[in-house]
Amino acid sequence: MKFPIAVSVLLFGAPFAFSQEQSDARFEKLMEQSRQAFKNNHMVVDLRLSTFDDSIPPAECHYDRYSGKVERIKLAKGGTFARKQGGKWVESEDWGETGKPAKRDTVNMLNVFASYVDIPLKDKGESRDKSQGGTVVRLKDQHPTEEGDEELVFEVGREHQSNANYPTYTFLRYKNAQPDDAVLYKFSGPIYSGNGKPVQFDARYGYLVAVKMNVADATGAPENSNTQSENAPAPVSEKIYTFQEIEKQKTKLKDKVVKIEISTLLGEPSDLLGNGTLRFIAKDTSNSATPYGQIVFTKEGLEKVGRDGPFTVYVRVHVFTEQKSAAAASIAVGTKVSIENGKATYSW
């Protein structure tokens, strides 16, 4: 793959002037929210590069990053590579803990992929056609998905548009989330490459992606029991933690119980643990830039608390040990706790 590394977004951002037509103010708010979400969590991107004249075969990969720690790229044609912060690319299946150095041609290809990932997230770009006037961000489409969520598609266009291919940003909002609770989901548009020619860049973004894990006693209460887990430790404190605090302190909080206040459960659940429990992406009540995290309920627990809050729940912090510096999940153990002889009993 010979896509040059030096890149910039076509038709987007400073320094060109904005038009008198007002851009949709929601766009920058959603972009900043997305930047913070990807910065503070495990970011994943499926990306594809292609040329408009088909002079180079399309190139695809799956990219993962724990900000400031490690990156990983899985190539479509096989091969997994990792690069720790400040390090070099190695062929590795354990996030760069072990592995052999990647070959020079492979390193060049990996650098190209890594260089494109953040381009849509930057707020500066370049315009080479001043005749089209200022930049205008317009809501191009808004529609529900098959799952009942909602996609908002913004086009970063121009005041006097031609038939050019303008960048589009698609944000995903879960069906029971607030109007502005959406995160960048897809990008599609032209990017200037190092030789000054545009290439087509398509990407699908996400974060806090579930991985396979085996937790023997995370929620192991009998189905008809009023007690969630008699063996869970006592709460660290009565402090209300946020998902962001749990993620930042996950090493310290691993396997401990903390209290969190939930605003709402988003989307449809999945069986993350493989034991019939229900995993949701949830929003806490912190009103921070990144109030989202993973929480897992038994069916009994979910019936007791419902999907809409606010409600307070005790959770055991589980860290995905299968991946280096992986994200944490909060395993709900109950809404009430009693402590006797140093032993904590949780119930709903």
Question: Tens place of pLDDT for every residue, the chain, 348 residues?
Answer: 555 544 434 433 333 344 446 778 899 999 998 998 888 778 889 999 998 887 778 899 999 998 888 999 999 888 999 999 999 999 998 889 899 999 999 999 999 999 999 999 985 455 556 667 778 899 999 998 877 889 999 999 887 777 778 899 999 987 767 777 889 999 999 887 666 678 899 999 987 533 333 333 333 333 333 434 445 788 999 899 998 888 888 888 988 999 999 998 877 777 655 567 888 888 899 987 678 888 999 888 998 898 888 999 999 998 866 544 456 789 999 999 988 877 888 998
Q: How many domains does the chain have?
A: 2
Same domain membership, residue 156 and residue 46: yes
Q: Final residue of a domain: which of 207, 238, 253?
A: 207
Report the predicted TM-score, pTM, of the whole model to 2 decimal places.
0.60
Side-chain half-sphere CA neighbours of 72 within 13 A: 19
Token code pair at residue 90? 């190695």
Q: What is the rounded distance in angstroms from the CA atom of residue 298 to the CA atom of residue 313? A: 13
The answer to whether the beta carbons of residues 337 and 273 sit under 8 Å apart is no
Same domain membership, residue 174 and residue 249: no
The verdict on residue 242 lying in a domain is yes
Q: What is the rounded distance in angstroms from the CA atom of residue 191 to the CA atom of residue 201? A: 7
Q: Final residue of a domain: which of 207, 235, 256?
A: 207
Same domain membership, residue 164 and residue 300: no
Same domain membership, residue 180 and residue 118: yes
The verdict on residue 195 lying in a domain is yes
Same domain membership, residue 291 and residue 336: yes
The answer to whether the beta carbons of residues 38 and 205 sit under 8 Å apart is yes
| Closest alpha carbon to 259 in 184, 334, 153 | 334
The verdict on residue 235 lying in a domain is yes
339 to each of 333, 336, 347, how far by Cα in Å? 14, 10, 12
Same domain membership, residue 101 and residue 142: yes
Residue type, 203: A
Same domain membership, residue 31 and residue 66: yes
Identify the CATH number of the domain in which residue 106 sits: 2.50.20
The verdict on residue 332 lying in a domain is yes
The answer to whether the beta carbons of residues 193 and 4 sit under 8 Å apart is yes
The string of DSSP letters for 49-82 reads EEETT--S--EEEEEEEETTTEEEEEETTS-EEE
| Closest alpha carbon to 260 in 305, 315, 318 | 315
Question: Alpha helices, DSSP H only, in the chain?
Answer: 26-40, 104-117, 243-248, 250-253, 299-305
How long is the chain? 348
Identify the CATH number of the domain in which residue 335 sits: 2.40.50.140
Q: Final residue of a domain: which of 156, 177, 207?
A: 207
- Residue-range definition of the domain harbouring residue 336: 227-347
61 to each of 4, 24, 172, 307, how far by Cα in Å? 16, 32, 22, 36
299 to each of 47, 157, 210, how far by Cα in Å? 36, 47, 19
Q: What is the rounded distance in angstroms from the CA atom of residue 217 to the CA atom of residue 337? A: 18
